[in-house]
């Protein structure tokens, strides 16, 4: 390992094998972590496998696989603001993107954090605002799919309009800002755009375009290409079929992510109109597929086969026009069954098509998958990345708070979730998780505030309404009340022979561990087709088996038998990606899973 060459990692300087410097000051870093960082830096952006790291740092000694993870976590903490330069390639290894000191030109992606602000509407038509936002968003989508940089998510950057734009760079911690304006008159548009270097407050590029409305997509490509050139990035423009402005406006109005099933239904209908009228518009098909897949989670299971066929057809149209659109990838994950397909889910999320995608919805999807496999610490890292990219996005911030709570980082989790609920009080999923967090802390005043009937009438918990009953029973601490709640859970399961395995976590927390395992043993996992089937994104997935606060079920070796039936154990054995709880329980978790190797697991039947 050489020590004559230095590497710049953002504002930090690495002297391989010697030290990591911040402003000339040596950062405290263990020898193994420093050695890992040095190996990654000298790979100059290439993937370094886990076996290669083991050989280089531990010299062939046999150590636990999580030894690498422990030191990677220490590295991320030391790297701080540039921790996202240390990239995890799931199931393979790691990659660091360094900037070599003294090189003729800096690495293209180094230090670039781009915020694309919503273009100003200079026309008298207030409805043009959707169009202006759409132009800005499409530019952001195009450049981030072809150029290596960090881009602030649209939900956050689009919060800054008018006079507030002056504060965007500081608030979003952006190094560069793209801003502009649009004026439309009849069938003609004038688009003005400029790129600002925030550090020196200098304009790197500006241009004005006078075109017909039918040329707007060509203008978007030209702007994206000009930004890439100004930042010395690679960009591959793509031919996009023109879309009528009225149809494009409809797309922009309908693509917003919402949680109310009625609004979701209206948006899907509008997006279907977009696809019908603009069959060559790839984003229309991809977003339609994603939103329809989300809506499917709220449909009775006996109707989902028809919905699934529609989504798959829309994905085929999207892929034919633009393979790898982030919305299409997220939709494809939504279609995958909750359990018994974890290896296939991971393969899709880590495929070559998905490599390098930094879209916030896709990052949150990957974090959600990690939660479902019990890797809460890794999920918190991925969710934090999404939250940094889009800090004003309630979905990203809500998942971040949830991931922290799952990982047992109580104080940070509570702060993050309280922030979400205060800023977006209708974020019903975050409210449900926050109620559980306060129950765990026995903060009954906070529980009472969140479960107040007047609040719930204004902001319903929808599919998470059962959390209120759980909170009430846990607060009362009445054995009879706990017994009644468990008996009700068992009665409902026995009436159909089916159960959501995650309900077992709640049943065990009530204090009936043996009876819970007996209930799970005699029940089929999954829906049965009755009105009591669980709906929503969480339904029958496995993430609620793993919150750090709920230990009663996992503390028993019989928990691994449940994991075998769900396909989790085989996934862990095949991938080597063990859940965090494997090292937290008082029995040989890995050994118990291995004992059942090859045992046929259940499949999700609808």
Element (H, E) at 346: helix 342-349
Distance CA 201, CA 141 (A): 25
Give percent of the chain above pLDDT 70: 89
CA distances from residue 345 to 319, 560, 571 in whole angstroms, order as listed: 18, 21, 11
Q: Look up residue 541 and give its two tokens.
A: 């997935």
Task: Mean pLDDT check: name the lowest of 100-109, 252-261, 478-487.
Answer: 100-109
pLDDT tops 80 at residue 8: no
Give the mean pLDDT of 580-595: 92
pLDDT-derived band of residue 603, with 50, 70 and 90 as boundaries?
A: low
Residue in this structure with the two tokens 């009755």, named with its chain if needed: 530
Does residue 161 contact residue 175 with C-beta atoms inside 8 Å?
no
436 vs 70, higher pLDDT: 436
Query: What is the predicted pLDDT for the residue at 100?
Result: 36
pLDDT tens, 260-270? 889 999 999 99
CA distances from residue 310 to 89, 237, 270, 293, 509 in whole angstroms, order as listed: 32, 30, 15, 9, 40
Distance CA 162, CA 37 (A): 43
3-state secondary structure of 41: helix
- Domain residue ranges of the chain, discontinuous segments joined by +: 7-100, 113-240, 241-335, 342-410, 478-595
66 vs 513, higher pLDDT: 513
Q: Look up residue 548 and give its two tokens.
A: 């750090």
CA torsion sign for 13, 16, 17, 18 is: negative
Question: Highest mean pLDDT: which of 203-212, 222-231, 398-407?
Answer: 398-407
pLDDT-derived band of residue 2, with 50, 70 and 90 as boundaries?
A: very low
The top-level CATH class assigned to 241-335 is: mainly alpha
Task: Mean pLDDT check: name the lowest of 82-96, 260-274, 484-498, 499-513.
Answer: 82-96
pLDDT tens, 130-147? 778 878 887 887 777 666
pLDDT tens, 42-93? 877 777 887 788 888 877 666 665 677 778 877 877 887 677 678 776 567 7
Query: What is the predicted pLDDT for the residue at 91?
Result: 60
Distance CA 419, CA 249 (A): 32
Torsion of CA 378, 379, 380, 383, to 10 degrees: 130
Residue 484: which residues within 8 A CB-CB, separation 6 or more?
Answer: none
Which pTM value belongs to this model?
0.70
Query: What is the predicted pLDDT for the residue at 602?
Result: 63
Residue 22 phi, psi dihedral angles, 5° rounding: -125, 105
pLDDT tops 60 at residue 105: no
Question: Which CATH number is 113-240 given?
Answer: 3.40.50.10070
Residue in this structure with the two tokens 């995890």, named with its chain if needed: 88
Task: Mean pLDDT check: name the lowest of 167-181, 267-281, 481-495, 546-560.
Answer: 167-181
Task: Could you please state the CATH topology (level 3) that the domain comprising 7-100 is classified under.
Answer: Arc Repressor Mutant, subunit A (1.10.10)
Cα of first residue to Cα of last residue in the chain, in angstroms, is 56
pLDDT tops 70 at residue 107: no
Does residue 287 contact residue 267 with C-beta atoms inside 8 Å?
no
Residue 159: which residues within 8 A CB-CB, separation 6 or more?
Answer: 392
Give the mean pLDDT of 493-505: 93
């Amino acid at each position: 390992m050489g020590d004559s060459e230095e590497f710049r990692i953002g504002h930090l300087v690495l002297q391989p094998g010697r030290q990591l410097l911040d402003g000339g000051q040596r950062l405290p870093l263990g020898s193994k972590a420093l050695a890992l960082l040095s190996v990654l830096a000298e790979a100059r952006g290439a993937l370094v496998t886990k076996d290669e790291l083991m050989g280089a740092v531990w010299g062939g000694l046999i150590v636990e696989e999580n030894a690498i993870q422990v030191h990677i976590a220490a590295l991320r903490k030391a790297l701080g603001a540039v921790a996202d330069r240390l990239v995890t390639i799931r199931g393979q290894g790691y990659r660091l993107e360094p900037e070599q000191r003294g090189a003729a030109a800096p690495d293209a992606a180094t230090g670039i954090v781009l915020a694309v602000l919503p273009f100003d509407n200079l026309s008298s038509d207030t409805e043009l605002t959707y169009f202006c936002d759409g132009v800005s968003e499409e530019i952001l989508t195009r450049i981030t799919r072809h150029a290596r940089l960090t881009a602030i998510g649209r939900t956050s950057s689009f919060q800054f309009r008018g006079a507030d734009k002056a504060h965007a760079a500081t608030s979003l911690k952006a190094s560069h800002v793209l801003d502009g304006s649009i004026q439309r008159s009849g069938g003609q548009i004038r688009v003005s755009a400029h790129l600002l270097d925030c550090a020196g407050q200098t304009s790197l590029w500006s241009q004005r375009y006078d075109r017909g409305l039918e040329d707007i997509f060509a203008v978007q490509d030209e702007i994206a290409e000009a930004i890439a050139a100004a930042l010395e990035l690679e960009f591959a423009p793509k031919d996009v079929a023109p879309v009528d402005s009225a149809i494009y406006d409809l797309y922009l109005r309908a693509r917003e992510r919402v949680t109310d099933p009625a609004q979701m239904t209206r948006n899907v209908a509008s997006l279907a109109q977009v696809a019908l009228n603009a069959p060559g518009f790839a984003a229309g098909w991809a977003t339609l597929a994603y939103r329809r897949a989300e809506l499917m989670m709220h449909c009775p299971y006996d109707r989902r086969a028809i919905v699934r066929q529609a989504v798959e057809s829309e994905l085929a149209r999207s892929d034919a026009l633009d393979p790898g659109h982030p919305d299409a990838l997220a939709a494809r994950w939504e279609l995958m069954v909750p359990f018994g397909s974890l290896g296939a889910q991971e393969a899709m999320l880590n495929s070559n098509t998905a490599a390098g995608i930094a879209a916030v919805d896709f990052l949150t999807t990957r974090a959600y998958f990690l939660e479902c496999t019990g890797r809460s610490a890794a999920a918190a890292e991925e969710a934090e990345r999404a939250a940094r990219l889009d800090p004003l996005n309630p979905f990203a911030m809500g998942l971040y708070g949830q991931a922290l709570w799952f990982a047992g980082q109580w104080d940070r989790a509570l702060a993050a979730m309280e922030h979400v609920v205060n800023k977006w009080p209708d974020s019903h999923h975050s409210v449900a998780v926050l109620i559980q967090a306060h129950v765990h802390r026995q903060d009954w005043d906070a529980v009472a505030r969140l479960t107040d009937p007047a609040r719930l009438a204004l902001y319903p918990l929808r599919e998470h309404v059962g959390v209120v009953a759980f909170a009430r029973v846990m607060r009362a601490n009445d054995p009879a009340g706990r017994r009644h709640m468990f008996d009700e859970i068992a009665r409902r399961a026995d009436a159909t022979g089916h159960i959501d395995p995650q309900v077992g976590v709640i049943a065990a927390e009530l204090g009936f561990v043996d009876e819970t395992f007996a209930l799970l043993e005699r029940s089929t996992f999954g829906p049965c087709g009755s009105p009591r089937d669980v709906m929503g994104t969480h339904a029958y997935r496995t993430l609620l088996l793993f919150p750090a606060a709920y230990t009663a079920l996992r503390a028993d070796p019989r928990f691994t038998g449940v994991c075998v039936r769900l396909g989790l154990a085989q996934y862990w054995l095949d991938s080597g990606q063990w859940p965090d709880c494997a090292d937290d329980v008082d029995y040989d978790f890995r050994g118990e899973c291995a004992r059942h190797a090859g045992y046929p697991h259940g499949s999700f039947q609808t």
